Chain A
């Protein structure tokens, strides 16, 4: 079974496989650079120039400008690297979860908690 076939079997889930890894390489490489404080500062100082330096394509640049996680994933982003991008804006994984599911942060936190009640 190909990984592409698996990808469509779990709703709301993109398996980060070779196809995604190739598609998102520049985007993920930029986000990986955010491990370093000086890189985070460089990005803040000139976002467009920083994206250009890493060779992001238009889809990736647009997703970065929108700070939109689902768009970033569609552009090949891997959540572990994207988390470093979200960290620049002080976003928690609850903020990121709320954005992706269309819930308020409070509703998302309540959803997490409710799953402990079953």
Chain B
């Protein structure tokens, strides 16, 4: 049977893609952010996952407002990173695992979650930046990927409780996969930030640190928040924290925090990363 080795989180700020391409790892602005990743690479070298299920939000590349799925999943052999219009370097094509995608779809649907299934799916920075930070460019990546896209673009977005429950169903789906792959679940985005309106630039360090603390062993507390609570405390785009909660839902059992990093600001964002190991 498959093994879930743990969960990773990372902010997916677009400008990180530029900084990565320019190798600004020791630049004074970027160093407090990039310094987290060698530690995460050490954990990945030890656990050697074969598959990464990456929970992210599309920012207007694959989905438009004509059709806006709440929960969508890739079921393709490959996923292209494509032009988003503002010039971050494209990183290439990520290998998929369609058989496992369909297992997840069948298993989660049997638990009454209704997914939009995608046999073609372009992935934007929300997916590509964390994948690159963890595994390098796709042509050198040792893992196959399954993108899971949750709507954070248009309200109503799914509630924190719904995303946590979705993650729990995802975890059961992965645990029941008969293959012998080792799987890591990735929650991307956040933490607090707001790009739009007179409140642009809002960051909430206290709330971010609270979330990073509670997500380890008391995720149910975080799942009690409403969407409104989340937008108020984390900013309009900080609502992406639901993606971290979905990841955490997939880790059922004893969870220990291996490492965490938090830094303000990267671009307009409180940037966080974590490694959660599942015993």
Report which A residues bind B (CB closer than 8 A). Answer: 3, 6, 9-18, 21, 25, 28-29, 31-32, 34-37, 40, 69-70, 73, 78-84, 86-88, 92-94, 96-97, 100-101, 108-109, 111-113, 115-116, 118
Contact = CB atoms under 8 A, between A and B. Distances in A.
Interface of B: 15, 59-61, 64-66, 82-87, 153-156, 194-201, 203-206, 228, 231-232, 236-237, 263-265, 267-268, 270
Given A32-B60, A87-B86, A115-B203, A94 B65 contact: no
B153 A112 contact: no
Given A13-B231, A16-B155, A29-B64, A115 B265 contact: yes
A94 B64 CA distance: 25
Contacts of B205: 115-116, 118
Contacts of B86: 83-84, 86-87
B228 A14 contact: no
Contacts of B155: 3, 15-18
A84 B203 contact: no
Given A6-B228, A35-B83, A116-B205, A97 B198 contact: no
A74 to B, nearest CB: 10
B195 A96 contact: yes
A73 B197 contact: yes
Contact of A97 (B201, B204, B228, B232): B201
6 contacts: A9-B232, A12-B197, A15-B155, A37-B83, A100-B197, A116-B265
Contact of B264 (A12, A83, A87, A112): A112
B221 to A, nearest CB: 22
A94 B268 contact: yes
A18 B83 CA distance: 27
Contact of B199 (A11, A82, A108, A109): A11
Contact of A115 (B82, B156, B228, B264): B264
B231 A35 contact: no
B195 A97 contact: yes
Contacts of B156: 3, 17
A75 to B, nearest CB: 13
A11 B198 contact: yes
Contacts of B60: 31-32, 35, 78, 80-81, 83-84
A101 B263 CA distance: 23
A101 B200 contact: yes
A16 B15 CA distance: 24
Contacts of A108: 201
A112 B203 contact: yes
A117 B199 CA distance: 19
Contact of A101 (B61, B201, B203): B201
